[in-house]
Amino acid sequence: MPKAKLAIGLFILSEANFFLLLIIAYVYYHAYPGSGPTAASVLNPMRTGLFSILLFASSATMLVAANRYRARAYRATLTWLVATVALGAMFLLGQALEYAGLYERGVAVNRNLFATTFFTLTGFHGLHVFIGLVAIAIVAGLSASGRLAGSAREADAFEAVGIYWHFVDAVWVVIFSVVYLWAIL
């Protein structure tokens, strides 16, 4: 069994648990909102939805990159890796803009329990996106400098990075549903 894929699978198991705990806290305080801003009053699911599409698209580009890698088409791999990083970075940019907008309206992390759990949950997700982008950028760099050779070990590692990236996107599906969609239902 390939080591890197198993390792990343186990890591995802542990991270899924971590996110689950943060989601539970968000849901718990959604039921006991207290006063102040709520998801429905300050979030913009439409806009965030658009940025989310970019993130989901980056999963698709990552899939294509993996496909090109397996076909040993390393230049194409590089192109699609760069596309993935670009799309992911745009998602993070959107998140930064959202945070800035909220902060301007006085919705800081300690404003109320909605704000705390919202920023904690989406913030840690953003951190995981960022780490994923760093990893993909490293692979892209290796690809650009011609160091990819297609060995079994290398393929294992490449796929592991891809799996991590898809996990990060899957987590966003859940977070987007629980935080943004649930607010407008």
Partner 1 sequence: MSGLAVSGRIGEPSAAAARRGLLAWVASVDHKQIGIMYMLSALLFFAIGGFEALLIRIQLAVPNNHFLSPDTFNQIFTMHGTTMIFLVVMPMLAGMSIYAVPLMIGARDVAFPRLNAMSFWIQLFGGILLYFSFVAGGAPNAGWFSYAPLSEPAFSISNGVTYWVLALTCLGIGSIAGAINMIVTIVTLRVRGQTIRRLPLFVWMTLVNSFLIIMALPVLNGALVMLLIDRLLNAHVFSPAFGGSALLWQHYFWGFGHPEVYIMILPAFGIISEVIPVFSGKPIYGYGFVAASTVAIAFLSFTVWAHHMFAVGLGHMFVMFFSFTSMAIAIPTGVKIFNWSATLYHGRIRLTTSMMFALGFIVMFTMGGLTGVSFAVAPIDWQLTDTYYLVAHFHYVLFGGTALAIFAGIYYWFPKMTGRMLNERIGRWHFWLTLIGFNLTFFLMHPLGMMGMPRRVFTYPDLPGWMILNMISTVGAFVLLASVLLFLWNIQMSLASGAAAGDNPWDAWTLEWATTSPPPPENFALVPPVHGRRPLWDLKHPDRADERAWVEG
Which residue in 7, 50, 93, 181 binds partner 1 (CB under 8 A)? 7
**11 is an interface residue for partner 1 by CB under 8 A:** yes
Tell me the C-alpha distance between 169 and 180, whole Å.
15
Which residue in 98, 101, 141, 147 binds partner 1 (CB under 8 A)? 147
- Kindly state the tokens that stand for 103: 């902060």
**117 is an interface residue for partner 1 by CB under 8 A:** yes
Residues within window 34-93 making contact with partner 1, judged by CB under 8 A: 34
CB of residue 103 vs partner 1: minimum separation in angstroms?
13
- Kindly state the tokens that stand for 92: 């993070």
Cβ atoms of 171 and 129 closer than 8 Å: no
> How would you class 164 by CB atoms within 10 Å of its CB: exposed for 0-12, middle for 13-18, buried for 19 or more?
buried
Instruction: With contacts defined by CB under 8 A, name the span among 82-90, 145-153, 162-170, 172-180 that binds partner 1.
Output: 145-153
**22 is an interface residue for partner 1 by CB under 8 A:** yes
Which residue in 154, 159, 178, 182 binds partner 1 (CB under 8 A)? 154
Residues within window 82-111 making contact with partner 1, judged by CB under 8 A: 109-110
SS3 129: helix
CB of residue 98 vs partner 1: minimum separation in angstroms?
18
Amino acid in the structure at residue 55: L
Residues 52, 55, 56, 57, Cα dihedral to 10°? 120
Cβ atoms of 173 and 134 closer than 8 Å: no
Which residue in 39, 113, 160, 175 binds partner 1 (CB under 8 A)? 113
CB of residue 60 vs partner 1: minimum separation in angstroms?
27
Residue 42 to residues 9, 113, 140, 171, Cα–Cα distance (Å):
36, 14, 37, 22
List of residues contacting partner 1 (CB under 8 A): 1, 3, 6-7, 10-11, 13-15, 17-18, 20-22, 25, 28-29, 32, 34, 109-110, 112-113, 116-117, 120, 124, 142, 147, 149, 151, 153-154
